[in-house]
Amino acid sequence: MSAKLPDEISARKQMLYGVSLLIGINDQAFGLLASMAAESRVSAGHVIVHQGDLGTKLFVIVRGEVRILLQGRHGDVEVARMKEGDFFGEMCVLERLPRSASVAAVTETYLVLLSYAAFDILFEQMPLEHHRVLSNIARSLSARLRELGDEFALRT
């Protein structure tokens, strides 16, 4: 893998700016993660991750919209939609287990990808900043659980 140029890192930092996952981290940590990020463009209908596959990357939606799908008895069930600024795949930062859901692009979608290894390096080099990211993930997971609980309550 070739080294990323400063302009590439700066562009990725701009793409990640304001994403709730990274709120509160310092510029050095932000730059470290941006330097290890990759980009991807997927077309509408493309399945980005499959439920049951091993999760190794976290995805930030730069532009576009995705559907979060769970396998049900009668096929896939949409449980959420996400758009620009949202992120998914964060559980791979916490644990190395299979994906809990599939994610498919609704529209052409541009993503920034961060591997779990990037967060491991952040932990080794800047543990306080890593803690801030984990706190942001915890807040996000809590909000998503609350939303799912509210949705479930409305259906019963």
How would DSSP label each residue in the chain?
Answer: -PPPPHHHHHHHHHHHTT-GGGTT--HHHHHHHHHT-EEEEE-TT-EEE-TTSBP-EEEEEEESEEEEEEEETTEEEEEEEEETT-EE-THHHH---B-SSEEEESS-EEEEEEEHHHHHHHHHH-HHHHHHHHHHHHHHHHHHHHHHHHHHHHH-
pTM for this prediction: 0.86
| Mean pLDDT, the chain, whole residue set | 90
Give residue-wise pLDDT tens across range 31-87. 999 999 999 999 999 999 999 999 999 999 999 999 999 998 889 999 899 999 999
